[in-house]
Chain A
Amino acid sequence: MELFALLSVGAGVNADADLEDVRHAVRASAGDARAYSWLVMCHQGPVYRYLVRLVRVPETARELTQDTFLRAFQAIPTWRPEARFRTWLFRIAHNLALDHLRRAKHVRLEPLEAGADVPDPAPGPERRLETAQRMRRLEQALAALAPAHREVLLLREIEEMSYEDIARALDLNLGTVRSRIARARAALLAVLRT
């Protein structure tokens, strides 16, 4: 209990989801495989979502997702509750993706199936089609960004991470994160306008 109280105050862990993460990560770091399974089930979707938009190849993203969780499983005894589990996990995923992108400079980029199945509460088919096209254009524009811009945008807009968490996940300072997000947004707008 003291640990969780300390976490709530010291590390700013407020959300229930974060507390659940911490509880399970503490148990997993003590060797509880079921707790780790819970963490995998909760985070595999976001990690894959991030990786597939970063490396642009679904099969590679799937492998990297699996590698991320294997690395995390091996390293979880070294995890400390001062670090948010989600940020720590994304840092592993990010490093693996960077290694992959460095190794494979000529990666074949596959178009994502974005927009093919866009849920839209809009009433008419024209509106639905318009939304689907906008989403597809946005995915393409996102894919056209430099990886450094893409990763900060993905973490900020889609994973809804704070500047601080992005800085930890990408090993950057706060000022760099702020300016990089702004540049990435500007670059994305420029791509969409052309």
Chain B
Amino acid sequence: MRVGRLVELEADGPERLPELCEKLLANPLIEDFEIQSIDA
């Protein structure tokens, strides 16, 4: 069993999210990520 990480963010726009994930929220060498948007 492995415990991952769930990050919920409020953002004004989705444009910078991939960069945010690549550089900060995930370490691409050992983690992958998926962005799911929840429409208000």
Q: Do A and B bind each other?
A: no
Binding site for A on B (CB under 8 A): none
Binding site for B on A (CB under 8 A): none
